Structure 1
Amino acid sequence: MIRNYFKIAWRNLWRRRGFTFINITGLSIGMTASFLMLLYVSFELSYDNFHNKMDNIYRVVADIKTPSDNIEANITAWAVPPNLEKDFPEITSAVRINDLNMIVRKGDLKFKETNAIAVDSSFFSVFDFELLQGNPKEVLKKQFSIVLSETTAKKYFGDQNPIGKSLKITEEGFNSTVTGVMKDFPENSHIQADIILSLTTFTQHLDKELDTRWGSYDAAAYILVNPNTNTDQLTAKFPAFLEKHSGEFMKQSKMFVTLNLEPLKSLYLESTRGGTGGGSMTNVYIFSIIAIFILLIASINFINLTTARSVERAKEVGIRKVMGAEKQQLSLQFIGESIITCLIAFFITTLLIIIILPFFNEIAGKVISDGLFSNYSNIFKLFGISLAIGIFAGIYPSIVLSSFKPIQVLKGNFSTGGKGVLLRKSLVIVQFTISIILITGTIIIYNQMEYMRNQELGFNKDRLLILEAESSTSQLSLKNAIDNIPGVKFTSLGSSVPGGGNSSAYSEIENKAGDLQIANLDLYFVDHDYIPQFDLEILAGRAFSKDFASDSTKAMIINEEAVKLLGYSNPKNAIGAKFKQWGREGQVIGVVKNFHFNSLHDNIGPLTMRMETNRNDLISVKLASNNMKQTIAEIEKLWESFLPEQPFDYFFLDDSFNEQYENEERFGNLFLYFASLAILISCLGLLGLAAYSTLQRRREIGIRKVIGASVSEIVNLLSKDFLKLVMIAFAIASPIAWYVMYNWLQDFAFRIDIQWWMFLLSGGSAILIAILTVSFHAVKASLSNPVKSLRTE
């Protein structure tokens, strides 16, 4: 019996090869796209869940209230974590993590390690990063102890055992000892490091007062609490803790701190404080919905094409019922055919995923999966999805087909009825509603990306080469030597460049009322040449000048936002305002026009600029447009001459600034690819329905041609019903698309407005796609010989 079912199923699939091909192709593309997207979603949701104590690990964060603003920091004061561990028995361990950029040397090898951190000795007790060599409790206890990742250990020591060997770190060349080797951090960790330095290096040698600093904010802080600890009750004790240890300091500085806890498991996707690697729960929701949509569209295609062909199989069902077949047997037969179709699609999908996965990892910007077979549960999941689609997509057609009354169908009185037609029309509307939402989303995402690329930034970033010189005493000499290279137009020194991060400083600046207003303000250290090199516009006062010796000690330049913060109605009124900042006192000498010194995700904040030569780590070099490679080679020779102890390290400012939007670019590309696949699957379904509709109306088409109907009239006849459905889909999709994309745009401080023409373009695109899809068969039918179609009746 089962063998007979399979034989009949195969014959039916083969007899209508065109429809079978459309079904299998649509299912294969749909399952491939959906499974890849679900892999991506699963990977994003897996961040940090490999830590066994994940549910008991929290990041300690600070809300800092000043007289001018409220700062939501993702860090705490250096003194907070060790004192929390001492004062609260609920806290088992506390660990601080501070990002480092440091020069590491071994003989002639020298690298600038930008992915390094300094941590407390409890790091490997709190987090479950795997140590390949070394004792987790001991590797970071001593000062100048370092732990290397497996890859970094090979970079410096090859196949030798690195334990106990020395590396020179920082520009000063301190000797450090390798005490451990760790497995490379998993990609789904928001904490990343190639080198870990013991924090005791600072607290016992380089900066012995670090543990007592209640006003210095640099390190991220994590605590491990006892199981079943009520974190709300623990957080409620923090105000008294801060009052006890730093109450007097907060009153004097007028900076009042509130400590909060963020669960480790929510940091990557849900924290709004930054510093967690840039995940987005909104994107996870969007991709999850698209994956479900694509599976839904593929299933709709199957149901539509199967029920549409029900008339052809009516006589088969009637004869089998007369011969004694029961309704249950017929249902199983048709569900079995559905499952066979889906299993064929499963094998094709498996092959497609194996081929596409490396490319998918590339456009996602991370290794979502090493391969389909790297985790055998993936195969079972994919098989389960295929089987589920086969069963659920086959249930309705099986019920319809097995319910035919044999007497009626054998007399030829069978018709599909209004319910079947209504179902197919409803499913087409659902398909194109989803497609129009995706087209609209693609248009809006593309325009937002273009807006960000072309936004007026307020500074010039073209052909700017940035050298990282680590505040060397030779950097000024190097800058002057670079100035003399023919291919160099301009150079300047600074502590930061736009988009490259910046310091913040406790500041007191005279406001409109004549009071010294306290605020924590962003701060750039620059030289005389910085403002003209970046083409920053001075709105009032003047830029720093070599003609005024006091500029290097007593002058400050602020931006427009700082002027607003201080209450001045006109930038000119801020000139001469007194300031105190980091031990320096002086006056505001100029106001610079607002420029985007941070990402376009953030609003432009108040900025201060001062001259302080020993804090300028960066040399900005404006290159001429011709022969840039040769100019860079000449700069490298000078670098080796002036800074032989440092590796030659540089980047272009425009590339660095654009890297801030890599996540959005990747999201946009992934959205575009999968939206295109969803539209393709919709078109396949529409193509199948159009083909079947044409086949069913071939006699009508023949008669119309005989009485003189033109090709365009026949095409219009066959197309108008589908176009009505697309128009209904457009009306449903537009408000949904607006709501979803409006909320997505809220993540950007600078964003486009959603325009009416975007919806018109998406609706027009959907109509054009439908016309082209349906017209293929309509034109073919209108050009066929009417004699043949009439003869077949």
Structure 2
Amino acid sequence: MLRNYLTVAFRNIVKNKVFSGINILGLGIGLAACLLIFQFVRYELSYDTFHAKIDRTYRVTNDRFQHGKLIQHGTITYPAVGPAMVRDFPEIEEYTRLMPAGTLNIRIDDQHIRSGQSHFADEHFFSVFSFSMLAGDRLTALKEPLSAVLTEHAAKQFFPAQGADYASMIGKTFYWGTDTEPYTVKAICQDIPANSHIQFDVLISYATLVHATQMEADNSWTWSDMRHYLVLKPGVDHTQLEAKFPAFSDRHFQGDKVSGSVEKFYLQPLRDAHLYSQYEYDIAKVASGKAVWAMLIVALFILLIAWINYINLTTSRALDRAKEVGLRKVMGAFKTQLIKQFIFESFILTGLAFVVAMMMAQLLQAPFNKITGNDLSLWRIIQTTDTRTLVAVAALLLLGALVSGFYPALVLSSYQPITVLKGKFQRSARGNFLRKALVIVQFTSSAALITGTIIVSQQLNFINDADLGMVIDNTVIVNAPELSAWDSSFMQRVESYKHALLQLPGVEHAATSANLPGDRLARGFNLHLKEQTSAKYTISYLGVDHHFMSTYNMSLVAGRGFLPTDHQVDYDKIRSIILNVNATRLLGISTPEDAIGKELTDDKHAWTIVGVIRDFHQESLKSPMEPTVLMPTYSTYAATSIKIKTEDTKSILASIENTYKKYFPGNAFEYFFLKDRYNRQYHDDMRFGKIVSIFTGLAIIVACLGLIGLSSYTAVQRTKEIGIRKILGASVVNIVSLLSADFVRLVLIASLLSIPIAYFSMQHWLQGYAYRVTPGWAQFVIPLLAVLLIATFTISFQVLKAAMRNPADTLKHE
């Protein structure tokens, strides 16, 4: 029986090459899209799953409130929080603390090396996290001060002579920056997997920080720069533990008496750290969970469209197979046998489509990886995916093949042999209605995807063209001279360095600053006007030199900019500050002009407001512009922003390097272009936009393949009618219009139905931006017209071929 099914199936495929080809190609494209997106989604969901304690590991997050207003929603907390939680709550098994240390300027003998990302981590780190160790003891490696753990990449970078002999690197030493005490390598771990939300090349023992800060890094309730991770005991419900945190906050912070803010703590599952984190000061490697699930929905839409094509094309050929069914029933075939035959054909077509899909996915793998920025491999994903997920995906594909084959099988097997053999078979109204409904579903999905693509593209263009309140184009950032000593001559040396830069051809401006556009700024707490002590505020602050505003073309609204005399070697002697307009509003100052001359204080220092500048986007347009204070500071950790002309970038950079090395010998010259780094904030959005655009195009192609098949078959079925109409005087235009009208009407209905779907979906997506476009009627009408135009062209091309035929030939054939 199986052999007979197989023979009949391949005979029908060969006999109807066009329809079989359209079905296989359409399903192939749909399955290829699903395979590619499945890789992407599976990889994004795999973050941190290699940790043995992932299901019991949580990170502590913290909301801070002043005057009932949320002022900070972040992952940073105070050093004493983790230890206190372990003491207060027996539900917690262990904890670990982290503090980011940036990139390290490493000195080994007379060689200077720039490390990758580094953190201070306590001795519990490798107990909480399951990073693989290559050499050294994971439980004691970070116990002593001045201890370090390197990844294999950093180990080979620091000690290349040892090659892969990691055991020989244990006990070796290096110096960090200008430190005079060496750090000892206590362990080497494997390179951190790309799907880890924590990334690092070097870990420095947290005990080093505790020793350097005279225990403040261990017991402070006000120093806010620590990340805490908790491992709960087996069986503990984290929501019940979290419910005890308000009492913990009241007990240790006494409202806002200790930190100046009302502290609220929460637990975030480690599984959510990558995809569901919209926190300030986050060290996690994050992506948008919304975008990931949206990609999966797009893939399912495309597959749905492809399966609908199969159903429509198969049932539209009912007349061709009616006699076959009639003869089979006369020869004794049962309805169940016929259903099995047609479902078997569906599985054969799906199998062939899957082969096509695998080949397409393999061909598109490299360009897809370039778009996603991930090193994905279908085979690697299959090997690393758990059996349950693979079974679920396989079941989905089998279910799709079964469902898409079952209805046509049911329709075809239900023909009455006497009726069809007499040639009196007619299409059912119910079958026609279902085909029309399925076409509407197809094009509703396609039109909604087009609308979404347009709005995403418009938002991304809005981001690129937005007025940031400063100009970041053509700005080269040269890293700070970290190996220079901070002394009374440093400020003058920086001034001389900037002056020398301005003498170089192609250099227009130069300035130094503690932070760069795109950085999350630190915040100052308990700030208030000197004459107002009742209300205290939190304001972001940015340390800059007196050239910063002119370098970034920032607009002064009132007062003056910084002068060289505003800078002081001793921070406590700084007296002048500049606010942005937002900060004046927060402080209750009615106009920018009124702010000039007023004093701002944190009860330890007092500064005079000398100027007010226009608000500017320090971070991406996802974040609102914050109240900010600019302070005139210099630092050995302040990078240099250099505005250049772009006619001869290579020559200009060489001149800048020579100047830098002249003034800061021993420091490595490292640079990047600011706009590239600033735009990294939108990497996830740009990736989402590209993927949506590509797969929307695939959805339209698949839908049009179905229209080609349906319109072509309709034209064949109405060949005799076309010939008669032409003899009676109908023009080609009349015939094309007549045969296309039904399809165009269906596409128009689908386009209208897509509008509310697209509107509510995109409104949800746009909520992630503090500054966003407002979709107008054009964003919804253009996709409607585009879908109509594409569908009309597709249908008309097929119908036109039938309408152009000689009626004598068609009627003779009939």
In which range does the TM-score fall when normalised by the shorter chain? over 0.9
Partner of 1:496: 515
Contact 2:221 2:259 in 1 (8 A): no
Instruction: Please state whether the residue corresponding to 2:105 is helix, strand or coil.
Output: strand
Instruction: Please state whether the residue corresponding to 1:490 is helix, strand or coil.
Output: strand
Between stretches 88-97 and 594-603, larger displacement belongs to 88-97
Give matches, 1:415-434, under 5 Å: 415-434=426-445
State the 1:696 CA deviation: 0.5
Deviations 1:457-507 (A, max 9, x none): 110112111112155345614333323322222211111122123221124
Aligned partners of 1:731 and 1:776: how far apart in 2?
Answer: 24
Q: Which amino acid aligns with 2:714?
A: S
Partner of 2:557: 539
Partner of 1:573: 594
Q: Does 1:295 align with 2:297?
A: no
Contact 1:493 1:616 in 2 (8 A): no
Contact 2:480 2:636 in 1 (8 A): no
Partner of 1:395: 406
Q: Which amino acid aligns with 2:648?
A: N
Match of 2:276 among 270, 275, 280: 270
Q: Which amino acid aligns with 1:489?
A: E
Partner of 1:83: 84
Contact 1:112 1:649 in 2 (8 A): no
Partner of 2:756: 735
Aligned partners of 2:58 and 2:330: how far apart in 1?
Answer: 70
Q: Does 1:347 align with 2:333?
A: no
Partner of 2:809: 788
Q: Which amino acid aligns with 2:541?
A: L
Partner of 1:25: 25
State the 1:37 CA deviation: 1.5
Give matches, 1:361-380, under 5 Å: 361-369=369-377, 371=379, 375=383
Partner of 1:142: 144
Residues 1:429 and 1:596: Cα distance change in structure 2 (over 3 Å): same
Contact 1:559 1:591 in 2 (8 A): yes
Match of 1:414 among 425, 449, 452: 425
Report the identity percentage: 37
Instruction: Please state whether the residue corresponding to 1:37 is helix, strand or coil.
Output: helix
Partner of 2:209: 202
Residues 1:5 and 1:469: Cα distance change in structure 2 (over 3 Å): same
Q: Which amino acid aligns with 2:411?
A: V
State the 1:205 CA deviation: 3.6
Partner of 2:685: 664
Give matches, 1:308-347, under 5 Å: 308-347=316-355
State the 1:253 CA deviation: 5.5
Residues 1:124 and 1:49: Cα distance change in structure 2 (over 3 Å): same
Between stretches 176-185 and 5-14, larger displacement belongs to 176-185
Deviations 1:149-170 (A, max 9, x none): 2222223333143222222223
Between stretches 772-781 and 305-314, larger displacement belongs to 772-781
Partner of 2:655: 634
Deviations 1:332-374 (A, max 9, x none): 1111111111111111212222222232222112234464576
Contact 2:460 2:686 in 1 (8 A): yes
Q: Which amino acid aligns with 1:95?
A: T
Aligned partners of 2:441 and 2:245: how far apart in 1?
Answer: 53
Between stretches 217-226 and 274-283, larger displacement belongs to 274-283
Deviations 1:665-720 (A, max 9, x none): 00000111111111110000011001101111111111122222222212111211
Q: Which runs of 5+ in 2 are unaligned?
A: none
Instruction: Please state whether the residue corresponding to 2:273 is helix, strand or coil.
Output: helix
- Relative to the length of structure 1, the TM-score reads 0.95
Deviations 1:558-617 (A, max 9, x none): 011111111122111111221124943121111100010111100001000111223761
Residues 1:568 and 1:446: Cα distance change in structure 2 (over 3 Å): same
Match of 1:129 among 123, 128, 131: 131
Aligned partners of 2:300 and 2:698: how far apart in 1?
Answer: 13
Aligned partners of 2:698 and 2:651: how far apart in 1?
Answer: 46
Aligned partners of 2:481 and 2:378: how far apart in 1?
Answer: 38
Q: Which amino acid aligns with 2:724?
A: I
State the 1:62 CA deviation: 1.9
Partner of 2:46: 46
State the 1:412 CA deviation: 0.3
Partner of 1:35: 35
Residues 1:645 and 1:426: Cα distance change in structure 2 (over 3 Å): same
Residues 1:632 and 1:577: Cα distance change in structure 2 (over 3 Å): same
Contact 1:146 1:198 in 2 (8 A): yes
Q: Which amino acid aligns with 1:717?
A: L
Q: Does 1:683 align with 2:704?
A: yes
RMSD of the TM alignment (CA)?
Answer: 2.3
Q: Which amino acid aligns with 1:81?
A: G
Aligned partners of 2:381 and 2:257: how far apart in 1?
Answer: 61
Partner of 2:545: 527
Partner of 1:459: 470
Aligned partners of 2:423 and 2:244: how far apart in 1?
Answer: 82
Residues 1:398 and 1:562: Cα distance change in structure 2 (over 3 Å): same
Contact 1:557 1:609 in 2 (8 A): yes
Residues 1:582 and 1:168: Cα distance change in structure 2 (over 3 Å): farther
Aligned partners of 1:343 and 1:741: how far apart in 2?
Answer: 36
Contact 2:566 2:632 in 1 (8 A): no
Q: Which runs of 5+ in 1 are unaligned?
A: none
State the 1:239 CA deviation: 4.5
Between stretches 231-240 and 147-156, larger displacement belongs to 231-240
Partner of 1:559: 580
Q: Which amino acid aligns with 1:580?
A: T
Match of 1:179 among 155, 175, 186: 186
Partner of 1:220: 227
- Relative to the length of structure 2, the TM-score reads 0.93
Q: Which amino acid aligns with 2:115?
A: E
Contact 1:62 1:74 in 2 (8 A): yes
State the 1:549 CA deviation: 7.1
Aligned partners of 2:41 and 2:800: how far apart in 1?
Answer: 43
Instruction: Please state whether the residue corresponding to 1:76 is helix, strand or coil.
Output: coil
Aligned partners of 2:811 and 2:789: how far apart in 1?
Answer: 32
Aligned partners of 1:279 and 1:582: how far apart in 2?
Answer: 40
Contact 1:22 1:685 in 2 (8 A): yes
State the 1:330 CA deviation: 1.1
Aligned partners of 2:808 and 2:78: how far apart in 1?
Answer: 89
Q: Which amino acid aligns with 2:13?
A: L
Deviations 1:308-347 (A, max 9, x none): 0010011111111111111111111111111111111111
Residues 1:695 and 1:756: Cα distance change in structure 2 (over 3 Å): same
Residues 1:409 and 1:536: Cα distance change in structure 2 (over 3 Å): same
Match of 1:719 among 737, 740, 745: 740
Residues 1:634 and 1:204: Cα distance change in structure 2 (over 3 Å): same
Residues 1:584 and 1:113: Cα distance change in structure 2 (over 3 Å): farther
Instruction: Please state whether the residue corresponding to 2:97 is helix, strand or coil.
Output: strand
Aligned partners of 2:68 and 2:408: how far apart in 1?
Answer: 67
Aligned partners of 1:428 and 1:122: how far apart in 2?
Answer: 59
Residues 1:777 and 1:573: Cα distance change in structure 2 (over 3 Å): same
Q: Which amino acid aligns with 1:307?
A: T
Q: Which amino acid aligns with 2:92?
A: I
Residues 1:403 and 1:108: Cα distance change in structure 2 (over 3 Å): farther
Q: Which amino acid aligns with 1:170?
A: G
Instruction: Please state whether the residue corresponding to 1:177 is helix, strand or coil.
Output: strand
